[in-house]
Structure 1
Amino acid sequence: PFFSGDDFPYWKSRMEIYLKSRDFRNWLSVKNGPYTPMKLNDKNELVSKPEDEWDEDDFRKLTIDNKALNILLVSLDKTEYNLVRRCTSAHKVWKLLILTHEGTEDYELFKMQPNESIKNLYNRLLDITNGLLGLGKVFEQDELVRKLLECLNDEWEPKMNKARRFQKKNFNKGEGSKMDPPTCFECNKPGHIKVDCPQLKKKKLLKKKALKA
């Protein structure tokens, strides 16, 4: 299967099946990482073997890794190949492609889970954004905060209302005059966040009416 940047989930699924059909060990190399020849030294410590000490079994396992790497690389167009050309193993190629084509989607679709704590929500968001740092995507702290706010579910609405009243009170005193107004991730308009978006509330109302009909 050839990949040119479109419909990554489809290509990913087909490539996994293809690797398994060629040699299941190729898929294990992609999934778990390459084989490293090891030996015990004089101190009974496990260390890497020098190349001149590799045996036939080592060469056989290393060949499996290189075949897996070759299968992935020849399936990519020039743009995708240039993205992963510095990767030294099939495992690294696979991980980078997943991060590139699924990582940003994870951020866009990020949501709070039922009964999830704020701490766990924040840690999950950090895991995603830290992974995207390798692709050159930098997130400012205020952007992360806004992302968290838009992900909060309905049970947090009373607490958010209290926070907004507090913020408005401080703003009227002049303490918040230097703060930038929030931007809604639903309609992309400034002045409110997603949970207060008139368009979102209208959509929910129409959905309820449709369910009752």
Structure 2
Amino acid sequence: MRPHLFNGSNYSYRKTRMKLFIQTNNYEVWRIITNGSLIPMKRVEGVIIPKEEGEWDNNDSIKIQLNAKAMYTLFCTLGANEYNRISLCNNAKEI
């Protein structure tokens, strides 16, 4: 099921519907949108750096996939004008 396309009007109404749509499909996706996604990190010689993709464990992959689902859901609800404004965002919270 796909959410309705946002046309720029009735923002409060659309916001509530979108929130409920996302929460009912996967509440963890909603948490990624509101709290931001977590980049898998590791400690090397006392410095925390991002993990390489090959170093991700199952939990890291799940977090990355949730961010991708959140971004996809948000992209699907926006028209071309809004897409151009957010196309360079790297995670759902930025969008």
Contact 1:29 1:68 in 2 (8 A): yes
Q: Greater share of strand residues, 1 or 2? A: 2
Partner secondary structure for residue 35 of structure 1: coil
Corresponding position of 1:38 = 41
Corresponding position of 2:32 = 29
What is the one-letter code of the residue matched to 1:16?
Answer: K
Taking the aligned partners of 1:8 and 1:86, their CA distance within structure 2 comes to 23
Corresponding position of 1:65 = 67
What is the one-letter code of the residue matched to 1:57?
Answer: N
| Shift in Å, 1:35 | 1.6
- Structure 2: gaps spanning 5 or more residues: none
Q: Pairwise CA RMSD of aligned residues?
A: 1.2
Q: Name which structure has the greater RCO, CA cutoff 8 Å, separation 6+.
A: 2
Q: Greater share of helix residues, 1 or 2? A: 1
Note the alpha carbon deviations across 1:115-136, whole angstroms, 9 max, x for none.
xxxxxxxxxxxxxxxxxxxxxx
Contact 1:3 1:77 in 2 (8 A): yes
Partner secondary structure for residue 90 of structure 1: coil
Of residues 32-41 and 60-69 in structure 1, the stretch that sits farther from structure 2 once superposed is: 32-41
Q: Percent identity?
A: 30
Contact 1:4 1:79 in 2 (8 A): no
Map residues 188-207 of structure 1 onto 2, 5 A cutoff.
Answer: none
Aligned pair count? Answer: 92
Corresponding position of 1:52 = 54
| Shift in Å, 1:64 | 0.6
What is the one-letter code of the residue matched to 1:75?
Answer: T
Corresponding position of 2:87 = 85
| Shift in Å, 1:46 | 2.7
Larger CA Rg, structure 1 vs 2:
1
What is the one-letter code of the residue matched to 1:59?
Answer: S
Map residues 89-108 of structure 1 onto 2, 5 A cutoff.
Answer: 89-93=91-95
Note the alpha carbon deviations across 1:60-104, whole angstroms, 9 max, x for none.
1100110000000011111111121111111111xxxxxxxxxxx
Contact 1:2 1:11 in 2 (8 A): no
Taking the aligned partners of 1:58 and 1:75, their CA distance within structure 2 comes to 27
| Shift in Å, 1:54 | 1.2
TM-score (norm 1): 0.41
